[in-house]
Each structure stands twice: as C-alpha cells, then as structure tokens.
Amino acid sequence: MTTPDAAPPRTPSAPTDGSSGRARSHPTGLYVLFFTELAERYSFYSMMAILTLYMDESLHFSPEVIGQVYGGYVAAVFFMPLAGGLLADRWLGFYRAVIVGGVLIGVGQLVLGVGTLFTFFAGLALLACGTGMLKPNVSTIVGNLYADRPELRDSGFNIFYMGINTGSFIAPIVVSYLRHAFGWRVAFASAALGAVVALAIFISFRRHLGQPGRTSGPRAENVETAGSDSRARVSALLVVFAIVIAFWVAFYQNGFTLTLWARDNTATSLAPETFQSVNPLGIILFSPLLVGLWAALRRRGAEPSTLGKMLVGMVFTVATFVTMMAAGLAGGDSDRVSAGWLVGAYLLIAVAEICLSPMGLSLVTRIAPARHRGTMMGAWFVATALGGYLAGFLGTFWYRMPHSEFFLLVAGVAAAAAGVLVVAKPRLQAVFAAVDGKA
C-alpha cells in the first residue's frame, strides 16, 4: 500500500459566494507553484536556448546528429513524466517526487557544463529523469488545489502557465548574455541555480499546498471510478493526446529549425537564441486577455469547451507555419529577411500554446480517474515526448528542401491533426460531459 506524503496544515479556505458556498478566488498554493515553475522553467529553457548552438559550435556535431540528439532529448524529457507519475501515484506521493526531481535537475545542469562528451550525455540523462519526476507532479498538485472550485480550474492553469512562460522568457536573454560574456560553463551553471531556487520556493511554502498526496482532496473525485467509466475516460484522453502530438511537432521547431532560421536567415544583430523569448513573452501578454475573454463568454453561457479552445490552438499553429512559409517565399529560402516574420510567427504560436497546453493539463486533472491521475498526467507528457522526438526527426530535413517547403510540411501536419480533432470532438465531448457536465 502506498504511503502518501504526510499532510501539512491546511490553509484557510478562500472567500466564497454566499449563495453557493463555492470558492471565488484562486488558492494561495497556485502562486507558490507559479514561482516554483517559473524558476524551474528558467533552468530548462536556458539550457534549451543554447542546446542546438552548443552541439553545433562547441561539440561540432553534424546536422543529422544534432537533430537526433535534440529530438531524443526532448522525447526523453517528456517521456520520463510517465515514470514520475507512476512513482508518485504508487510510492513517493507528489510532494516527494517534486523534491527528487528538483535535485536531479540541479545536478544535471552542473554535470552538463563540465564540457566533455561523456558529461554532456550524462547531464542530459539526469535532466530528463529530474524533469520526469518534477513536471507532471507539480501540474497534478495544481489540479488538486481546485477540488473545491472546479469552475476556476481552466483559468488557474492559465495563470500557472504564465509562471512557466515568465521563466521561459527570461531564460534565453540571460543565458545569451552569460554565454557571450563568460562561456558555456557559466551559462549552464545559471540553469542549475534556477533549479535550486525552484526547490527552495517549493519547500519553504509547502504549507500552502494542502495535501499533495495521490488524490484531489475531499470531493467525490476520491470515490473509486467504475471500471467501464474509467476505461472510457482514459481512452478519450489518449485520443486527445494523439492529436496534440502534432502541435508539439510544430512547437519544438523553436529550439531547432527556427533557431537556425534566426541565425542564418534573419536580418538581425541579435543572438539567435534570444528570439526564443518572443513566444513566452506572447504568452505572458496574451494569457490575461484570453482568460478575460473566456470569463466574459462564461458569464454569457458561451464559453467554448476545453476541446473547442484546443481546436482554436491548432488553427493558430497552422497559421504560424503558413507565415513562415511566406517568409521563405519572400526571400528567406536563400537570403535573410526581416525579423518581423519570425517575431510574428512566435506570437501566433504563443496564442496556440495558450489554447492547447494549459487546457490539456486542466483536462487531465479533471477527467482522469483519481487513482490514475499522476499516471495520466505522465501520459500527457509522453505525447509531448513523441512530438518532441518527431520535431527533431522532421528537422533533419531542414537542409534537404527549401525552407518554405519545410514550413509547409509542418503546417500540413498541424492541419491534419486539426481535422482529426473536428471529427472526434462530438464523441470526446460526450465522454467528458458525462464526468462533470462540461468538457
């Protein structure tokens, strides 16, 4: 029998609506996890911003090897959460899993910066294992905080996602300065510091997280789900996971082909990795607007379903790479073009990410059977892993075709997935609506 984390004191409940008794504000623990994830994502994305450049300029890997290592690493980072979720569900509990993950990430960043080929791959392995322990379980704890206020869960994940992207925005700018001023080793060391800060925040303010054990708290979610219902929920979520793989194939071009485009095909004096800050900046700017839009529509009874929001995200993904195809045709296939093309594309995919990624996290915590919630959150990241791996595989064609044709290929992958979502949406909606009346 699994021994969950010991329960710390609960915080006072949030202000409630006098007529319904339902909480009206977000729990304090959300902001603890906001800053935890901000620091951890600084650690992750500072390394991601320079990974391709490090392999190219320092390790002198061929483009094919860079694509294989990049895709394999992203796949490992997002495949390992399946193991991390299982360990949290069955043994460690969510809190201890996050602690173990943070330690592994910090050590991995330090090992990565030693500078040898062996320590490079050893550091990547440690980072993948650490992220696998930390990332799904932090996300699951966020969902658990909303056991008594489910109507705020989607907007809560949007706020949480702003923390992720604040760290993502800062990381490329800082690590670019450190790389040019002090070298690769100091740049990687700053990523290790981010992991230490994340751990310190999480441990220091644990009392605001309620009881981050294996289930969501005092609601009926803890009642064992019937076998047939459980299978239907899991099957529906797996269909969603399969569809969003295409989004991650497109999204993870940011650290590979879009970074090469920034370096080789953009008329700019900026370091190529700094452009990766545009996407998280867009998320920081647009998230409050979208949260406000969803809230306004909710008051009118017209808020799109979670699946509807995800479909909007896939449409914006297609638009992103159609824009880059146009940039290639406008001269980027053979020369340098305005940075406005790349900035515009990053802002478009920021909207796509807001509509897809936090909505997917919210969907898992709402729909997955309680006893399998950590595992299903891990499965969400496995879908991300497959998308990341395929992003690296697809990126190996970067030098084999005109850039405009490459971007058209990526847009086609996203469009095909959007079509599948349109066809599958009614059946998925029916399964999700049976859980809580709204999907």
pLDDT digits (tens, 9 = 90+) for 387-396: 988 998 998 8
Q: Is 267 helix (H, G, I), strand (E, B) or coil?
A: strand
What confidence tens digit (pLDDT) does each residue in 181-207 have?
999 889 888 888 988 899 899 999 888
- What is the spatial distance between Cα 38 and Cα 281, in angstroms, rounded to a whole number? 13
Asked if the model's pLDDT at residue 300 lies above 80, the reply is yes
So where are the chain's domains?
A: 28-217+225-436
CA dihedral 117, 127, 111, 278 (to 10 degrees): 90
Band of the pLDDT at 227, cuts 50, 70, 90?
A: low
pTM of the model: 0.72
Q: Give the CATH fold of the 28-217+225-436 domain.
A: Growth Hormone; Chain: A; (1.20.1250)
> pLDDT at position 235, please?
84
- What is the spatial distance between Cα 16 and Cα 275, in angstroms, rounded to a whole number? 43
For residue 60, give both structure tokens: 């002198």
Say how many C-beta atoms besides its own lie within 10 A of residue 89's C-beta: 27
- Tell me what the mean pLDDT of segment 220-235 comes to: 63
- Higher pLDDT pick, 340 / 83: 340
What confidence tens digit (pLDDT) does each residue in 96-137 have?
889 999 999 999 988 987 878 999 999 999 999 998 888 878
